[in-house]
């Protein structure tokens, strides 16, 4: 009894089959994709709005309480860092808290 190593079958592609076109594969022509509008940018999650200019900003989360906080947009001095951490914030703040949705 002779043991022969198993022969590997060589898979050959049958010739003569035309490659299918995308049209055949998907059944019908697809309409050219319209340029999808870009997704809306995520809403800025500012916690505060500068009163003078109305732009949103976030006061520094860390640092000394007496650190002067300026609006990054108009550079107005809106208060000191400690004021933003007070609850309720003092009226001298030149910024108002923005209620975050949710």
Distance in Å, CB of 34 to Zn ion, minimum = 39
Question: Is the Cβ of residue 54 or residue 90 nearer to Zn ion in the bound state?
Answer: 54
Residue showing tokens 């500012």:
46
- Cα separation, 59 vs 47, in Å, equals 8
Residues that bind Zn ion (CB under 5 A): 50, 52-53, 71, 73-74, 76
In angstroms, give the least distance from the CB of 50 to Zn ion: 3
Nearest to Zn ion of 71, 93 (CB atom):
71
Helix, strand or coil for residue 50? strand
Pick 52 or 89: Cβ nearer Zn ion: 52
Nearest approach, Cβ of residue 68 and Zn ion (Å): 14
Phi-psi bin for 56: left (phi > 0), alpha (psi -120 to 50), beta? beta
When the beta carbons of 45 and 75 are compared against Zn ion, the nearer one is 75
């Amino acid at each position: 009894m002779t043991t022969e190593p198993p022969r590997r079958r060589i898979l050959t592609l049958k010739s003569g089959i035309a490659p299918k076109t995308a049209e055949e594969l998907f059944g019908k022509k697809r309409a050219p994709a319209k340029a999808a509008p870009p997704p809306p940018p995520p809403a800025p999650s500012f916690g505060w709005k500068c009163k003078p200019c109305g732009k949103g900003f976030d006061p520094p989360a860390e640092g000394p309480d007496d650190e002067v906080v300026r609006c990054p947009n108009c550079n107005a001095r809106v208060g000191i860092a400690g004021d933003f951490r007070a609850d309720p914030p003092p009226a001298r703040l030149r910024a108002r808290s923005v209620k975050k949705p949710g």
